[in-house]
Amino acid sequence: MRPTEIAISNYRSIRRLTIPIHPLSVFVGENGVGKSNLYKSLSLLRDAATGRITRTIADEGGLNSVCWSGMRKRGEDGRLRLSARFDRIRYSIEIGFPGPLEAAFAGEPMIKSESIEATQGRRTVQLMERKNSLVSVRGESGAWSSHKDAVLPSETALAGFSDSNECPEIDLVRNAMLGWRFYHDFRTDPVSSLRKPCLAITTPSLSADGTDLAAALATLYTIREDANDLQDAIEDAFPGAELRAWEQGGLCEFDLQLTDMPRPFRAHELSDGTLKYICLLAVFMGYRLPPFIALNEPETSLHPSLLAPLARLIAKASRRADIWIVTHSELLMEALRSESSVPLRRVVKSKGATTIEGLTTGGEYRDDDDDEDDS
C-alpha cells in the first residue's frame, strides 16, 4: 500500500492540486511560493490516520489560518479537502466549520465527511462513507450498514472506527498512512537529545525528531551486523572518516573518527552540520525504511560539499521507499539532477496560488505525456 497520488484543496496557499507520487519526487522553489505547504499538507493528511488532524489544525491557528488564503468565488464553502490514492483505493477527508445546530466549540474544525472508494475495472465502488457522525460501510455482500454517532465531529473514522469484518480497507488505509514518516528538522543545539546516549531498543527506522539516532545506528552495527553501506556513505561525505555505534549498559552511543583528528568525537562534540548529516544517514539507510518518507529542506545547516553525497544517498534510498523532498536549494536540485533521471519539479505562485510547473489539473505532468509519446 504505497501512495500513488495526493490531492489537496483549500490548504493555505494551495487552491487545488492533484500530485502523482513517484519513487523520488523533488520540489524546488523560492521562499514564499508555498512549497512547504506541500509538505505540511501531507503531514496533515497522515494525522487523519492518527486521529489528530483536527487538533493539528487547531494548533496551527484553526481553520481560518489553515484554509485557502486567497479570494473565493461566490457560493464556495472553502472547506479543506485532502485525499490519498493507493493504486485502486482512495481515501478522502473534508473539514469545515460547525453548523449552527451542531454541538461543537465556536470555530472548532469539524470533520464533515470521509470516504474510502475502490476502483474495480472501470467502476468506482464506495466502501466507507462518513457524513458528520454517521459512518456507513459496505460489506462483502454489497449491503450497507450504518453506525450512528460512531465518531465525534473531532474524530476521524479512519482512526476511531474499525470493523475489519465489514470494511477491511479502513485498516489497510490507516496502517499504510501510519507508516509515513516526516522529517522537518533535527535539533542540534548543545542540549539536544541527539547528542546524548539513548535507550538500547532495536530501531528499524529513525523517529521523526531523531531522538533515537544512536539506537538506529547501533541497530545496523549490532543487530544487523552489517554497516558496510553506512560506512561507504560516511566515506563519501567525510573521506577517511569512520563511524562507530554500540550498546553498553542498556544505552546506545556513537562516535565519528575524522582523519585530521587524534581521537574520535562523541555526539556531543560534533558540529551541527555533521550531526545533521548523520541523522540523514540514519533516515535513508535504516534497517527498514518507511514506505513513504517526506523531508522539508534537508539541506539546512549542511556545508555545500555535503550536497552531492546527500543527493547520492537520496537517489539510492528511493529504490527502497518513495521519497518526497521539498527544497529551496538550487545546488541540491542540480546534484539530484545529476544523480537521478527523475525530473525535478519547480514550485511557483500563479495568481496567489501555489502550483507546480508542468502539472495539469488532472494530476499529470506534461513531460510524462511527452515521454509516452516518444516511446
Q: Say whether both 316 and 361 belong to one domain.
A: no
Residue 24 shares a structural domain with residue 75: yes
The reply to whether 264 and 362 lie within a common domain is no
Same domain? For 83 and 173 the reply is yes
User: CA 341, CA 233: separation in Å to the nearest integer?
Assistant: 21
CB atoms within 10 A of CB 190: 7
What range defines the domain where residue 240 resides? Answer: 182-342
How many other β-carbons are positioned within 10 Å of the β-carbon of residue 169?
Answer: 21
Does residue 152 contact residue 159 with C-beta atoms inside 8 Å?
no
pLDDT by residue, tens only, the chain of 375 residues: 889 999 999 999 999 999 999 999 999 998 889 999 999 999 999 999 999 999 999 998 888 889 887 777 766 667 899 999 998 999 999 999 887 767 677 778 999 999 999 998 888 999 999 998 899 998 877 888 888 888 888 899 999 887 666 788 899 999 999 999 999 889 999 999 999 999 999 999 999 999 999 999 999 999 998 899 999 999 999 999 999 999 999 999 999 999 989 999 999 999 999 999 999 999 999 999 999 999 999 999 899 999 999 999 999 999 999 999 999 998 998 899 888 877 889 999 988 899 999 999 888 988 765 544 444
Same domain, yes or no: 256 and 354 = no
Q: Are residues 303 and 367 in the same domain?
A: no
Same domain, residue pair 71 and 189: no
CATH of the domain at 331: 3.40.50.300
Same domain, 255 and 357: no
Q: Is 27 helix (H, G, I), strand (E, B) or coil?
A: strand
Which of 278, 257, 292 shows the shortest CA–CA distance to 179? 292
> Are 369 and 250 contained in the same domain?
no
Number of domains within the chain: 2
DSSP β-bridge partners for residue 327:
28
